[in-house]
Amino acid sequence: MKQKKKNYSKNFQQSKNHLVKEYVSELRQNPSSKDWVAIASRRVKKPEELIIKNQKRIVVPKKNCPFENLQKSGNKSPVLIKYLPNKKNWFLQIFENKYPAFQPNHNFITEKKVGPYKVIGGYGYHELLVLKDHYKLLADYSSKELAIILEALQERYCQIAQDKKIQYISIFHNWGKLAGASVYHPHLQIIAIPVIPSRLKHSLISSYNYWRKNHSCVHCEINNFELKEKKRILIKEKNVMAFSPFISVEPFAIRIIPIKHISHFEETPKEIINSIAIVLEKTLKILKKKLNNPDFNLFIHTAPTVEENKYNCYHWHIEIIPKISISAGFELSTGIEITVIDPNEAIKFLKS
């Protein structure tokens, strides 16, 4: 097997003449996931350069929308409906996706081997939270309305979590084609699956190890660091803040997090949900205004529905990732994102 290596040492000696005095980027490690990110802010001169100017969002008219007449369009009956106070018309509905990626099944989750691969059935839930208004973007909702959306998600989360075959429940919102939204009408999605996804697993295990070693939560430490540094905070309320993480994986990425430790999204008390909604409203409005209504993904990272005692060390939060850049070969092959705006500069720009 051993092959003789070619002698390149002469060429390498010559390349040393090209050593630079200053680094053009910085590799930063996420203390929660242990993932690396490269902050290479010299590749862009100003944050403004990244904004897609003159972007014309194609507004799909109501008449082609599958969420206008829900049942006529073949959607299932809702599992949850919410009305606004004193309003007759529904405000939001949660129902099963017409084309679900996962479904509950009477059979147990059977495991089999296919060659070297482990395979289990796609057991789970795939539901949509559809908002009544076709033209109103998530950024246009008031904090009171956003709190109703968050509480409806908590309620449905708790119902699904009673299914003991489920290990993780993912909640997300895709806005725009670049973010993967196939339907224009604003909606969120809930996907519950019988495994803990590997990206979460890295963060959960690292958070657990950090807790055991330091007797503190890694996200609480990050929050304290951000509060002390003050450079990357976009909004701060009494219980909740929004900031651009030091290890931002995308330009203008924002994390919204309860300042004090709460591991499970569904257990968050109303007072804190209200603060989350206030910070979320402000954040979405700033991003819409300053980044010219960008496509974005919003998702919740929370502790799984299993091993509650172990993962009480986790600290739930919301991540908002504007789709400014596209992951390419290096990112896909290594998992290291190259972020071309320093999060300090991103916040300066968003606050300007």
3-state class of 172 per DSSP?
strand
According to the binding rule CB under 5 A, does residue 315 interact with Zn ion?
yes
Nearer to Zn ion, 133 or 151 (CB): 133
Residue 159 has a CB neighbour count (10 Å cut-off) of 14
Site for Zn ion in 254-273 (CB under 5 A): 261
Site for Zn ion in 113-152 (CB under 5 A): 134
| Sign, Cα dihedral of 288, 290, 295, 297 | negative
Task: Give the bridge partners for 189, in sequence order.
Answer: 128, 172
Smallest distance, Zn ion to C-beta of residue 275, A? 16
Nearer to Zn ion, 148 or 313 (CB): 313
Distance CA 135, CA 62 (A): 9
Nearer to Zn ion, 166 or 256 (CB): 256
Smallest distance, Zn ion to C-beta of residue 262, A? 7
Applying CB under 5 A, the span of 156-164, 219-227, 250-258, 332-340 interacting with Zn ion comes to 219-227
Distance CA 33, CA 40 (A): 20
**Residue selected from 82, 126, 156, 219 as contacting Zn ion according to rule CB under 5 A:** 219
Nearer to Zn ion, 252 or 311 (CB): 311
Determine if residue 70 is left, alpha or beta; phi over 0 gives left, psi from -120 to 50 gives alpha, anything else beta. Answer: alpha
Applying CB under 5 A, the span of 27-35, 79-87, 168-176, 307-315 interacting with Zn ion comes to 307-315
Nearer to Zn ion, 135 or 330 (CB): 135
Nearer to Zn ion, 169 or 217 (CB): 217
Is there a contact between 139 and 288 (Cβ–Cβ < 8 Å)? yes
According to the binding rule CB under 5 A, does residue 301 interact with Zn ion?
no
Smallest distance, Zn ion to C-beta of residue 261, A? 3
Smallest distance, Zn ion to C-beta of residue 342, A? 25
Applying CB under 5 A, the span of 169-177, 180-188, 283-291, 300-308 interacting with Zn ion comes to 180-188
3-state class of 311 per DSSP?
helix
Smallest distance, Zn ion to C-beta of residue 332, A? 31
**Residue selected from 40, 44, 65, 158 as contacting Zn ion according to rule CB under 5 A:** 65
Smallest distance, Zn ion to C-beta of residue 60, A? 8
Smallest distance, Zn ion to C-beta of residue 134, A? 3
Instruction: At 145, list the tokens.
Output: 């309305």
Applying CB under 5 A, the span of 44-52, 182-190, 197-205, 300-308 interacting with Zn ion comes to 182-190
According to the binding rule CB under 5 A, does residue 285 interact with Zn ion?
no
- Give the containing element (helix H, strand E) for 286: helix 270-290
Q: Which of 24, 25, 30, 31 is nearest to 249 (CA)?
A: 30
According to the binding rule CB under 5 A, does residue 220 interact with Zn ion?
yes
Nearer to Zn ion, 163 or 267 (CB): 267
User: What is the 3-state composition of the chain as percent helix, strand, coil, each rounded to the nearest 5?
Assistant: 35, 20, 45
Nearer to Zn ion, 39 or 130 (CB): 130
Q: At what angle do helices 198-214 and 218-229 cross, to 10 degrees?
A: 80
Q: Edge-to-edge, what's the strand order for the sheet holding 337-339?
A: 26-29, 36-39, 337-339
Distance CA 251, CA 300 (A): 19
According to the binding rule CB under 5 A, does residue 67 interact with Zn ion?
yes
Smallest distance, Zn ion to C-beta of residue 185, A? 3
Residue 32 has a CB neighbour count (10 Å cut-off) of 22
Smallest distance, Zn ion to C-beta of residue 297, A? 20
Distance CA 204, CA 307 (A): 11
Distance CA 352, CA 350 (A): 6
Residues that bind Zn ion (CB under 5 A): 65, 67-68, 134, 185, 217, 219-220, 261, 315
